[in-house]
């Protein structure tokens, strides 16, 4: 399990973050200068060079969102102009994309971050520009909410979920982070309408999806199946669309539906705490028709604690997990949870991108619990998050090679499909980066830096 370093303080990260943002700037410039956008969106690196992978265009927002985060952290206007220009030029198709569950990734990372910077005064106020970003977020949230599957539990109340690109039967644990798009659209007072002008409450849809994720994607050691452990997650949950009944857990990018793909776990770890932070901004009257604040916060907090606990307990001592906690050759590593992760081992790859996403979840949950008076529990999660981030900001995870376009090394995309580059002579992939891993390392670094600098607390809903 993670050996939580209780001695880490914010001051420990000052020099590390200065170095980090300098390296980050070099990587963004390198991609901007060298990558051919005619290939499609950059997804992951092969021998240090970003390439694409035709599945869905879910990473472009991370590319341009990274430049926006770089400007936020450093004030270098070059990155603002890159992020702003590319958002206007190429992100419009993502707003109306009806075929994906990734609106929170693409559009909140770009339009949302730009609007946030304007609200925070880091961009000059411009009414037309503000309205442009707001409109994009309004429509993005509505389009995302339209991917709706009704399920049997509470069918009369319209319970359901935002289905994945696999189809209406498929609930992905990842999609909890796309609920950001729904709640932003709701808070921007968008009216989402269906046939006969039926008005659909976007907040209600977001909470129903988050509840379905908590009920079906997260396990609590309550006997759902033989592999039910506190906090483990399933990547995909399958439903019978004829009657709305849950059928089974499944996985697309993990080893199986009965093991835990650690990046999926990390999406849940990050998604639940940030939605708890958002709920705190809403009046009780908005939540009362949807089950009430106490009930909603209770199931979200249970899921946040469970997933973060599972991560702490099933990750090596330095805070970087292997790609799946049930990967078939992990047993050949011996007591791998009792020592730091080894990205160069001969049996199973680590996934540093899961660590970057999970670190933010740990920090947000720790901060949330501390603010509600649970100081001891909050400190545990907070220090665990610092422990993970501290590992990622150094070798062998931080990419210092000036010719490597990636920022965070040892990220894994799709191990079952064999999409990750395997170096000659190695039985496993290692040494490569992903656009989501790079973005989320920047995001958690910015999150911590803004706390250190006494800037406004970084949230996705600072754009409101």
For the chain, domain boundaries: 10-463
For residue 240, the model assigns a pLDDT of: 95
In three state form, how does the secondary structure of the chain look? Answer: CCCCCCCCCHHHHHHHHHHHHHHHHHHHHHHHHHCCHHHCCCCEEECCEEECCCCCCCCHHHHHHHHHHHHHHHCCHHHHHHHHHHHHHHCHHHHCCCCCCCHHHHCHHHHHHHHHHHHCCCCCCCHHHHHHHHHHHHHHHHHHHCCEEECCCCHHHCCEEECCCCCCCEEEHHHHHHHHHHHHHHHCCCCEECHHHCEECHHHHHHHHHHHHHHHHECCCCCCCCCCCCCCECCEEEEECCCCEEEEEECCCCCCCCCCEHHHHHHHHHHHHHHHHHHCCCCHHHHHHHCCHHHHHHHHHHHHHHHHHHHHHCCCCCCCCECECCCCCHHHHCCHHHCCCCCCCCCCCECHHHHHHHHHHHHHHHHHHHHCCCHHHHHHHHHHHHHHHHHHCCCCCECCCCCCCCCECCCCCCCCCCCCCCCCCCCCCCCCCEHHHHHHHHHHHHHHHHHHCCCCCCCHHHHC
Cα(67)–Cα(4) distance, rounded to whole angstroms?
A: 32
Cα(24)–Cα(317) distance, rounded to whole angstroms?
A: 26
Residues of the chain with pLDDT under 70: 154-158
Longest Cα–Cα distance of the chain, Å, equals 62
For residue 157, the model assigns a pLDDT of: 53
CATH topology of domain 10-463: Glycosyltransferase (1.50.10)
For residue 155, the model assigns a pLDDT of: 46
């Amino acid at each position: 399990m993670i050996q939580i370093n209780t001695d880490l303080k914010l001051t420990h990260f000052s020099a590390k973050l200065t170095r980090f943002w300098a390296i980050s700037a070099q990587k963004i410039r390198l991609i901007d200068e060298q990558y051919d956008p005619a290939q499609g969106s950059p997804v992951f690196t092969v021998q240090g060079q970003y390439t694409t992978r035709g599945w869905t265009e879910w990473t472009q927002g991370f590319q341009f969102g990274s430049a926006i985060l770089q400007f936020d952290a450093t004030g270098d206007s070059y990155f603002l102009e890159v992020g702003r220009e590319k958002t206007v030029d190429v992100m419009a198709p993502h707003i109306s994309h009806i075929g994906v569950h990734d609106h929170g990734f693409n559009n909140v990372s770009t339009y949302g971050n730009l609007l946030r910077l304007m609200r925070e005064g880091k961009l000059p106020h411009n009414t037309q520009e503000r309205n442009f970003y707001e409109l994009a977020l309004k429509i993005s949230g509505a389009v995302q909410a339209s991917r709706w599957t009704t399920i049997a539990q509470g069918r009369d109340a319209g319970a359901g979920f935002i289905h994945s690109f696999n189809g209406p039967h498929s609930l992905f644990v990842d999609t909890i982070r796309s609920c950001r798009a729904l709640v932003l659209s709701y808070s921007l007072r968008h009216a989402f309408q269906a046939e006969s002008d039926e008005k659909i409450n976007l907040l209600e849809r977001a909470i129903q999806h988050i509840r379905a994720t908590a009920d079906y994607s997260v396990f609590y050691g309550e006997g759902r199946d033989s592999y039910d452990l506190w906090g483990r997650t399933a990547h995909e949950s399958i439903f019978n669309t004829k009657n709305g009944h849950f059928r089974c857990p499944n996985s697309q990018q993990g080893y199986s539906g009965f093991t835990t793909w650690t990046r999926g776990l990390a999406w849940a770890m990050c998604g639940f705490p940030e939605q708890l932070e958002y709920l705190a901004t809403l009046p009780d009257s908005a939540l009362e028709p949807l089950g009430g604040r106490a009930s909603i916060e209770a199931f979200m907090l249970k899921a946040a604690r469970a997933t973060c606990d599972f991560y702490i307990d099933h990750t090596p001592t330095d805070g970087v997990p292997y790609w799946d906690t049930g990967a078939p050759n992990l047993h050949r590593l011996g007591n791998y949870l009792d020592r730091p992760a080894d990205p160069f081992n001969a049996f199973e790859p680590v996934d540093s991108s899961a660590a970057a996403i999970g670190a933010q979840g740990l920090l947000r949950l720790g901060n949330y619990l501390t603010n509600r008076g649970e100081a001891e529990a909050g400190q545990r999660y907070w220090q665990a998050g610092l422990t993970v981030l501290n590992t990622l900001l150094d070798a062998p995870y931080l990419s210092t090679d000036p010719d490597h376009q990636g920022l965070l090394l040892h990220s894994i995309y799709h191990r079952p499909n064999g999409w990750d580059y395997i170096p000659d002579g190695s039985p496993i992939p290692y040494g490569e980066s992903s656009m989501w891993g790079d973005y989320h390392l920047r995001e958690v670094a910015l999150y911590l830096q803004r706390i250190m600098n006494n800037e406004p607390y970084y949230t996705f809903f600072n754009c409101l």
